[in-house]
Amino acid sequence: MKFTIICDESGTENRHLVIGALVIPRINHTLLIEEMKTLKKELHLRWEGEIKWGKVSKKYIEKYKKITEWFFNHLKSNHLKFRAHVIDTAKKEYREYGEGDKENSFYKVFFHLLMQCIKRLAIEEEGSNVLILLDDKKNRYPFRLPLLKKTLNKALKRDLKLHEIVANVEPRHSSGNRVEGLIQIVDVLIGAIGYVRNESCKLPNASPAKVEMIGFLENLIGTKFEYDTNAGALFNIWTFDVTVPLEKKKYYKKNRPIT
């Protein structure tokens, strides 16, 4: 079965980074886009315009509620899944994870999120083929996306004995003529989770609209964003401790057979 995984990340300037992924059967992707286009038109929002957490305000909140309610109706109907990892970037282990390179740390975390998504698909859906769409961003290393594809396929071959599950990793725009509309949904969800995990909602200058939006989303989901959920949840939040893969890497290096 063919799947599309659509990903985005919250503001990297905050202590707790949130990365999110929508996992969608590819046939559903086109259907969801068409529905979202119709809904945005009904709400007098341009398709090319960007829906994002940063724009949640008194002016837009009712429109954002309608769009996210539409999304959660599809989630509850099992037409897609959502997974988010929360990472404490202030820990020294986060820097160590990328060997002192922030960009490398960031993509290693993305690698782990995608591995969790794809492994579950590969186990549950024999013959899975995955297209990964990431929010377009500038990278210091120009071949970051091809490297991510190669690394994922190599790890999946090693762990599951499956070949070339990842068809490609491609950039997508969150606004403009070539917009990938569902990235905007991911942006709103990870923004809300990040607002809670970074305790921005407790600040004196917290946005009343954002606090209201968080309450609305938590009510739709049936969980508070400060909690992790179980791995099989359709809306999954998990605090990713980079110490675990670091210790595994150190153990492997220490016990690697000498050839």
Q: Is residue 194 part of a domain?
A: yes
The per-residue pLDDT for 13 is 81
Q: Is residue 251 part of a domain?
A: no
The per-residue pLDDT for 251 is 63
The per-residue pLDDT for 1 is 83
CATH of the domain at 232: 3.30.420.10
Q: Which position has the token pair 């986060």?
A: 94
Q: 244: buried, middle or exposed (CB in 10 Å: 19+, 13-18, 0-12)?
A: exposed
Q: Is residue 21 part of a domain?
A: yes
pTM: 0.93
Q: Compute the distance between CA of residue 10 and CA of residue 28 in angstroms, rounded to an integer.
A: 25
Low-confidence ranges of the chain (pLDDT < 70): 251-259
Type of residue at 121: L
Q: What are the Cα distances from residue 62, in Å, to 1, 33, 223?
A: 36, 20, 21
Q: Is residue 257 part of a domain?
A: no
Nearest residue to 116 via CA among 212, 197, 20, 181: 20
Q: Which domain holds residue 199?
A: 2-246
Q: Compute the distance between CA of residue 158 and CA of residue 168 in angstroms, rounded to an integer.
A: 18
Q: Is residue 259 part of a domain?
A: no
The per-residue pLDDT for 254 is 67
Number of domains, the chain = 1
Q: Is residue 252 part of a domain?
A: no
4-49 pLDDT tens trace: 999 999 977 889 999 999 999 999 999 999 999 999 999 999 999 9
Nearest residue to 123 via CA among 22, 1, 253, 249: 1
Q: Is residue 104 part of a domain?
A: yes
Q: What are the Cα distances from residue 29, in Å, to 34, 169, 191?
A: 9, 16, 22
Q: Is residue 255 part of a domain?
A: no
Q: Compute the distance between CA of residue 170 and CA of residue 145 in angstroms, rounded to an integer.
A: 7
